[in-house]
Amino acid sequence: MTPEELSLAISACLKDAVAAGEIELSASAVPDEVRVERPKNREHGDWATNIALQLSKQAGTNPREFATILSARLKSIDGVSAVDIAGPGFLNITVDAAAAGALAKAIVEAGREYGTTTTLAGHVVNMEFVSANPTGPLHIGHTRWAALGDAIARVLRASGAEVTAEYYINDAGSQMNVFANSVYSRLHGQPVPDGGYPGQYIADLGHDVLTQHPDIRELTEVAALPVIRAAAYKAQMKDIKDTLADFGVAFDVYFSEQELHDAGAIENAVARLREQGHVFDDGGAVWLRTTDFGDDKDRVMIRANGEPTYFAADAAYYLSKKDRGFTEKIYLLGADHHGYINRLKAIAACAGDDPEANIEVLIGQLVSVNGAKLSKRAGNIIELKDLISWLGKDAVRYSLARFPADSPLTLDPDLLKKHSNENPVFYVQYAHARSRGTARNAVAAGVDRSAFDASLLDHATENELLSYLGSYPSIVAKAAELREPHRVARHLEVIAGAYHRWYDACRVAPQGDEAVTDVNRTRLWLNDATSQVLANGLDLLGVSAPERM
RNA sequence: GCGCCCAUAGCUCAGCUGGAUAGAGCGUCUGUCUACGGAACAGAAGGCCGGGGGUUCGAAUCCCUCUGGGCGCACCA
């Protein structure tokens, strides 16, 4: 019995009680699923619900009386062995071992599908993240969004959503000229101009350009710059894509801002928004009246000099997403961009969309290193490439994915550089490796999965492990709904802990020359079910599940 | 000045949107140890959940306020 099945059954009992007139409630007040949770205290049964406390007031009765009526019906649920009323009106439910244990077999049979749901079926999502400017390598500041955004995309897909992961390349602005100028200067052995890009990588890019265009230094500045700009951009973009690939992050679409300009999408966007009645002219500039939709001030789209603003490109880009059929556009931005939320939402509203439903801006706090913010001047910029080579992809991804985006994160570079066991990723990965090792040993000792008797999984540690495996799908669904993949990571740590305790208490393989029994065979099912859940969960975080460590 | 985010164990952080005695990892201390790989397990110490009010059966969680941090307020990109 899974917690989902139990919660559905409880809801059915509630509806029956209402229909029978035992409880006075309107039908709409009865939830379709009654949340059950795992009590911290083992004496409080396997599952507990506070539904009586929540609904008794509406029902015009007191919680304990409500609980008493409901518990009489809950006892008749197949697989429920006891129902107790505790404290102010908690219902503590105990499930018999056979009903709980059946889950082990179900998980193994579901395989990679276990944990996937259809809770977000029908959602067509555009998930934009990273979108780092192509003027330099990815660094630790981008790493959080890469790890988080990719995990969110995976969790959404696991919940049935259709997700396109997208990277917006800001390849149009004046920054690209600054970028080209910087490379040009380094090519000629000159210091980069004021406001240019410092850093060794600029010189390295210069070398790249030089190998492709050996005579580049002979050209005049005017002739050389466009060539440099194109070649350096290409090389830098390749570097970014390679790094992301090493990090296990795959984008479905790399979207070029320049192509928006070239296709006339900016003018088109202005015209469309004007049609909607939200564009006005003032002081020679063209404005979008974003204040109609909660922005602090109206935004310029076309400057008085005729040049479009970055904001205009944003609007055109939004319309592109809309035209491509995405009902939900998710933006993952750093906290330094939180001022964009209102104007992005206003764009959606001006385009005739519902800013509540069709656009979602997720803001993540910036990563700091030893309390200092990251800056080129402070010299504490750490490239993603370096992080991966120091720690490995798995440790980096896991340690960033196990925290919610809105928690400020402080990293210690010394700790980062040493490959330490302090990272819980090893705890989880080890649990997986250990379960695989256990299976290998069991098979070698003649244990197979030819028999399964769920009632034999009656040890306290088995009860605990089964309950955590059982709540895994709802954790994934919750993670998708809230865009919080860290919930999956935390739950994996809980499962790993329960597995290690079970491992210590219950052997799978027979000891010495003992005969193989159904206890061994049934435990192998549970062992393999745990491997499966850990592997499925780690995959959602983009972390590997090793057979050996 | 206005706005958004944050404050929980010595450190890094969870806390399932209001539930039972606030948790984990690391660090410190003590055990398990002829072992299906110990990267493990059991236990101890460590907390006025930043301060103060409020809401109710019940608050780390919701509301108000103060304090202390981070970030943002362009015809830049």
CA of A469 to C1' of B71 (A): 39
Query: What is the nearest nucleotide to A364, using C1' and CA?
Result: B5
Answer whether residue A379 shows pLDDT above 60: no
CA of A360 to C1' of B3 (A): 19
Identify whether the C-beta of residue A234 lies closer than 8 Å to the C-beta of residue A254.
Answer: no
HSE-CB at A468 with a 13 A cutoff on CA atoms is: 26
**Residues of chain A above pLDDT 70, percent:** 96
Identify whether the C-beta of residue A491 lies closer than 8 Å to the C-beta of residue A468.
Answer: yes
Rounded to an integer, what is the distance from CA A462 to the centroid of its chain? 29
Query: What is the nearest nucleotide to A310, using C1' and CA?
Result: B77
Identify whether the C-beta of residue A256 lies closer than 8 Å to the C-beta of residue A233.
Answer: no
Query: What is the nearest nucleotide to A546, using C1' and CA?
Result: B39
Identify whether the C-beta of residue A401 lies closer than 8 Å to the C-beta of residue A145.
Answer: no
What is the predicted pLDDT for the residue at A477?
Answer: 93
For nucleotide B22, the protein residue with its alpha carbon nearest to C1' is A40
Identify whether the C-beta of residue A132 lies closer than 8 Å to the C-beta of residue A240.
Answer: yes
Query: What is the nearest nucleotide to A419, using C1' and CA?
Result: B39
Q: What is the pLDDT of residues A293-316, one digit of tens each?
A: 989 899 999 999 999 999 999 999
Query: What pairs with residue A282 in β-bridges?
Result: A285
Superfamily of domain A3-95 in the CATH hierarchy? Arginyl tRNA synthetase N-terminal domain (3.30.1360.70)
How many helical (H) and strand (E) elements, i.e. helices and strands, does chain A have? 19, 13
For nucleotide B72, the protein residue with its alpha carbon nearest to C1' is A339
For nucleotide B73, the protein residue with its alpha carbon nearest to C1' is A339
For nucleotide B57, the protein residue with its alpha carbon nearest to C1' is A88
Q: Hey, what are A391's tokens?
A: 């720690």
What is the predicted pLDDT for the residue at A265?
Answer: 96
What is the predicted pLDDT for the residue at A201?
Answer: 92
CA of A108 to C1' of B61 (A): 37
Query: What pairs with residue A339 in β-bridges?
Result: none
Alpha-carbon distance values, A516 to A437, A490, A524, A525 (Å): 18, 35, 11, 14
Q: Hey, what are A163's tokens?
A: 């997700």
Answer whether residue A520 shows pLDDT above 60: yes
Q: What is the pLDDT of residues A100-147, one digit of tens each?
A: 999 999 999 999 999 999 999 999 999 999 999 999 999 888 899 999
Most confident by average pLDDT, A24-33, A43-52, A182-191? A182-191
Average pLDDT over residues A147-163: 96
For nucleotide B71, the protein residue with its alpha carbon nearest to C1' is A336
CA of A518 to C1' of B36 (A): 16
Burial class for A356, CB neighbours closer than 10 Å (0-12, 13-18, 19+)? exposed
Alpha-carbon distance values, A3 to A99, A370, A442 (Å): 11, 42, 30
Answer whether residue A417 shows pLDDT above 80: no
Mode of pairing for the β-strands spanning A285-288 and A299-302: antiparallel
What is the predicted pLDDT for the residue at A373?
Answer: 60
What is the predicted pLDDT for the residue at A139?
Answer: 87
Cα torsion A526, A532, A534, A540: sign: negative
In which element (H, E) is residue A375 found?
none
The CATH code that applies to domain A421-540 is 1.10.730.10
CA of A11 to C1' of B13 (A): 36
Instruction: Provide the strand spans (E) within A305-408.
Output: 328-334, 359-364, 367-369
Task: Using a 7 Å cut-off to protein CB atoms, list the covered nucleotides of chain B.
Answer: 3-7, 12-17, 19-27, 36-42, 57-58, 69-77
CA of A405 to C1' of B12 (A): 15
CA nearest neighbour of A464 among A502, A504, A437, A517? A502
For nucleotide B2, the protein residue with its alpha carbon nearest to C1' is A296
Confidence of residue A415 (pLDDT cuts 50, 70, 90): low
The CATH code that applies to domain A131-262+365-418 is 3.40.50.620
Q: How far apart are CA A170 and CA A260, in angstroms?
A: 11
Q: What is the pLDDT of residues A196-240, one digit of tens each?
A: 888 889 999 999 999 999 999 999 999 999 999 999 999 999 999
In which element (H, E) is residue A165 found?
strand A162-169
Return the DSSP state at A139: B
Alpha-carbon distance values, A220 to A177, A225, A336, A391, A442 (Å): 16, 9, 39, 45, 73
Confidence of residue A418 (pLDDT cuts 50, 70, 90): low
Q: Hey, what are A171's tokens?
A: 């390849």
Query: What is the nearest nucleotide to A430, using C1' and CA?
Result: B39
So where are chain A's domains?
3-95, 131-262+365-418, 421-540
Tell me if domain A3-95 and domain A421-540 are identical in fold: no
Most confident by average pLDDT, A184-193, A251-260, A359-368, A393-402? A251-260
CA of A471 to C1' of B26 (A): 27
Query: What is the nearest nucleotide to A336, using C1' and CA?
Result: B71
CA of A162 to C1' of B76 (A): 35
What is the predicted pLDDT for the residue at A411?
Answer: 73
Q: Hey, what are A244's tokens?
A: 């992301």
CA of A26 to C1' of B4 (A): 40
